[in-house]
Amino acid sequence: MMRERREIVRLWHECDGAVLATLVGVEGSSYRRIGARLLISDDGRYAGAISGGCLEAELMRKARWSVRHGAVVQRFSTEFDDTADIPYGLGCGGIVDVLLEPSGTREFEAVMSALEASLGGAPQSIRTWLPRRGSPLRRSVNGIPALAGDEYLEELLLPPQRLVLCGAGDDARPIAAMASLMGWDIAVLDGRQQWARPERFPQAQCVAVVSEPSRFDVRAGDAVVVMTHSYEQDREWLLAALPVGLRYLGLLGSRHRSALLISEAAAMLGWPVERVCEQVFAPVGLDLGGDGAEAIALAIVAEIQARCEGKLGASQRMTAQSVAEQIAKGGASRYLQKQCAL
């Protein structure tokens, strides 16, 4: 939905008039969650979606006519067609309520401004009193609580997930591309100027030459993937990132290399190895199978998404015992080179 939010805000700035459709109620099965939005401009363009493609065409055809007297909630059935109370049937298995509101109103401008502000990093709390039983549409953004007994739809618009890629090698490029499809904010950092170039990562909001991790502000809510291919640089990034308590911290590399880095980081921070293992996803990415940079990128993005949504099942994370087993196989001398040989 974050990518859709960006597209909706972009279309809002480009069009002269529009109708905003918001999913506000669901009974039974629905492809989208409450809060999904579709913006339909008066010139026929649209952004976002409120279904799997079933309702969009119908809404685009009737949206402007539906709001000729102001905002309205319409019910759409995806179960059957033969009813006067439900105007549209699709056979998908559920019933949805959709709020339609025209541009040019205070309520419309308030919600669109909130969408834009959330993309800029500021969480937005929205309360919407739906136009039912003769009451008009009302909306409060980051406002005072509602009166007791009032029924309203409450939404919390969170900022985009920020993904920090510590390493600008070729294997970082498909990660950035896939993360952009999720609507995440992407920062790509590397000490090598010839690799950390904006044209190599057109989807990223930030591409910077950073030789010292302490010079970049990594935040607790970030997802960070350490992938410089330099043993020493990866260790420096781990030392900088671990105390922050990140939402996600992944380390690219073999189990043996990762075990050595985890052990050294723990010793340098004065932490138990178990504590580092609890914070680091290594080997990075879900075990999805496949080979090559794109397959690895998919595994990494999928693991980050699962972690952020609280849906993470079995992963490949190391334990203190597996770290000790890997260290017994040899030291770090094989990894001690300033840059990847490739």
Q: Give yes or no for a contact between 303 and 285, defined as CB atoms under 8 angstroms apart.
A: yes
Give me the DSSP letters along 278-335: HH-BSS-S------SHHHHHHHHHHHHHHHHTT---S-----HHHHHHHHTT--SGGG
What is the residue-averaged pLDDT of the chain?
90
> Would the CA dihedral through 58, 64, 68, 72 be positive or negative?
positive
Q: At 144, is the pLDDT very low, low, confident or very high (cuts 50, 70, 90)?
A: low
| 210 confidence band (pLDDT: 50, 70, 90) | very high
Label residue 1 by pLDDT band (50, 70, 90): confident
Q: What is the pLDDT of residues 260-307, one digit of tens each?
A: 999 999 999 999 999 999 999 998 999 998 889 999 999 999 999 999
For range 30-43, the mean pLDDT: 93
Separation between Cα atoms, residue 165 and residue 193, nearest integer Å: 15
> Is the confidence at residue 90, as pLDDT, over 60?
no
Tokens for 138? 């009302």
Residue 91 scores a pLDDT above 80:
no
pLDDT in tens, 226-248: 999 999 999 999 999 999 999 99
Report percent pLDDT > 90 for the chain: 73
- Structure-block tokens of residue 321: 């015992």
Question: E strand or H helix at 226, and its extent?
Answer: strand 223-226
Please give the pLDDT value at position 83.
47
* Topology of the domain covering 162-335: Rossmann fold (3.40.50)
Q: How confident is the model at residue 112 (pLDDT cuts 50, 70, 90)?
A: very high
With a cut of 80, say whether residue 318 has pLDDT above it.
yes
Report which of residues 92 and 320 the model is more confident about.
Answer: 320
Average pLDDT over residues 21-27: 94
Say which residue, 333 or 111, is predicted with more confidence. 111
The ranges assigned to domains in the chain are: 2-157, 162-335
Using alpha carbons, select from 165, 241, 252 the residue that is nearest to residue 204.
165
